[in-house]
A and B are shown apart, each in its own frame.
Chain A
Amino acid sequence: MNSGPNGAWFTCLPSLQTQVPCGTGRHTVRWEAGSLELSSHPDAEGELVLAALGGDKARCVDVAQAWARHADDLSVLAIGPRGPADQIAVDWDDVLAAEQAGSAVTGVPVLGAGRSKPTRLASQPGPTLARAGARQRQMQSEQLKAQRRRNDVLSLLALGYGFQVRLIGQVAAAHAARGGGEQAGSGPALVAAITGRLAPVAEEWLGIDPDQVVVSLHSGRSWGSSELTGYGADRRLRVSLPAGWLARVWACGLARVGRHLIVAVEQPGWPTARVLGLRAPGAKPEPLQVRADPDGPADVPHWEAYE
């Protein structure tokens, strides 16, 4: 899943760590080369066995499990950040509040709201009540599943921007490895995910309205294509990119370097790499040597061309 012809998608990303409230303290959770490491829980599997027997599950372990559960979840792309300016305001207090709210929920939406009649002499209440009961149980089950899913996502978002971006990369890489949406039926989600992240980059690159960016999924061996069409309200930046662009380029902070829109990574690495960049729509991509700014943000590198 993580390896491609040019190496693993995350090769341009440095390791990253954060603090997670766990038990009575705060523990370090570290991302390294596409995996989460729990240094305070060397025997996470053993802890899971104890939790299954009725013990408390450590939040760090919970987070690592959530990460694994959502490593190919397209919802991560729909909910996660579209760029550094897209601030997601979720912290551990929010996670705790949402968990408490979820556990406090005992009822489900009132059923039916059907017409009330004084009598229904011909009705057969038995099957009707059985159907209502089955439907209520189904709704409760779905609600619990939705709550767990929401709590998972909130926990992953609470890890911070660097982790959010890496999870997006993980999900995009997983789907790129499966054919980039064509076979797996994930095309619409991937098109939307790339559009949502390319549009603000294109706005900075060309000054184009983000709503005028049109993305399609590219499935060939080349990097894709780009063109600028129309004028005024009909102006469109049409870009065709593979699903892997989200992982190898965007998640690694490489979407725009200087005046170039980066469309592919030729030789991944950190702190230096070689990429392909477009100076203008429709132009032939140029190879660029880039290096991460040592004084840049710690979560996702800021890159500069140096040749």
Chain B
Amino acid sequence: MNPDAKRTLRRLLIAVPVMFAFGWALIPLYDVFCEVTGINGKVFQADNADKLIVDEGRPLGLQFISTNNENMPWIFKPSEAVITISTGQYYTATFYVKNTTNKKMTAQAVPSVAPSNAAAHLKKLECFCFEQQELMPGEEALLPVKLLVSDELPENIENIILSYTIFDVTDYNNLELTNHHNENDHHHNGHEMESSL
């Protein structure tokens, strides 16, 4: 093979791992893109939200929606379905959860905001969704979320929906220790649904 061909070959052999890496780089790029644009309803934790407090904000409807991911047997619902808030003020809302099973379980709530261009203006100081919840059999709890809607919210938005989907992540935590995920996979698409609960 002549030297020119070797050089072409070398370049192409470099291009392959570079494009493989690019495929993986799409994951952080996608997160950064969503953070910058506020799309996908992703809410990011607020830092120094204090400066966002204003004396007189405008009134706003804030609706809470709770959804159980399939196979998640807990009771999960907002204490109040709708509250009226004012922009630039802190509010604390709570969600009621109860582990209805006879097993210790771990849950993870994943938030989403609609409309999506409101997501960037909804700042959370505390949220149960920042960490996992572990409840004993039959245990119940009130989970708080402390939030503020910035005064810079676009004028045309009069209502915001904050929705949470709660997932059963017990298996995921066990997986780190045991390694029976595969068996659970069978259950997911097979017949013994309750064993994966």
Are the chains A and B members of one assembly? no
